[in-house]
Amino acid sequence: MPAPAAWRATVLVAALLMAGLLLGGCTAPVRVTWKTETEMNTAGFNLYRGLSPEGPFDARVNDALIPPSADPLTGGEYSYIDRTAQAGVTYYYELQEVERNGAINKFGPINVTAGGLDWRQGVVLGVLALLVLVLWWRGGRQLQRARANAE
């Protein structure tokens, strides 16, 4: 059996890892993909997000215009990751093709429910983290007793 201090440190690290997983589970990146056949007059693409299929699609997901394919005759395959999506929320995405003359063609919406931890998984992880902290505390009490008995 490991020394009480080493065991206590191991349990503390486990609790911190579980807490990190719990906090990190609140966001759930969503990958949106699309394919084009041709892009003859395309300057690029913008991806917008909304909470309803009717819109508004007022949250632009990309920071800058997503560039078009190098070959406008064959089009391209695209993938963009929305890193701001929250777990368990259903989002509606609208793709906007921006043409070189400024015209905008809209496609979609598509709906996606972001993955990640839902509330039940969060509760289980929280209870496990609490249990680990209780074990950490008990390990410290045992360490104090062992030191007191050694004196």
8-46 pLDDT per residue, tens: 566 666 666 656 655 555 567 888 989 999 999 999 999
Find the farthest-apart pair of alpha carbons in the chain and give their distance in angstroms, rounded.
Answer: 85
Q: What is the pLDDT of residues 112-144, one digit of tens each?
A: 877 766 666 666 767 777 777 777 667 666 666
**Are residues 7 and 56 in contact, defined by beta-carbon separation less than 8 angstroms?**
no
Question: What is the residue extent of each domain of the chain?
Answer: 1-26+117-151, 27-116
Superfamily of domain 27-116: Immunoglobulins (2.60.40.10)
How far apart (Å, rounded) are the C-alpha atoms in residues 31 and 12?
Answer: 34
pLDDT band at 1 (very low <50, low <70, confident <90, very high): very low
Between the two ends of the chain, the Cα-to-Cα distance in Å is 22
The predicted-structure confidence for 48-91, as pLDDT tens digits, reads as follows: 999 999 999 999 999 999 999 999 899 899 999 898 888 778 89
Is the pLDDT reported for residue 148 higher than 60? yes
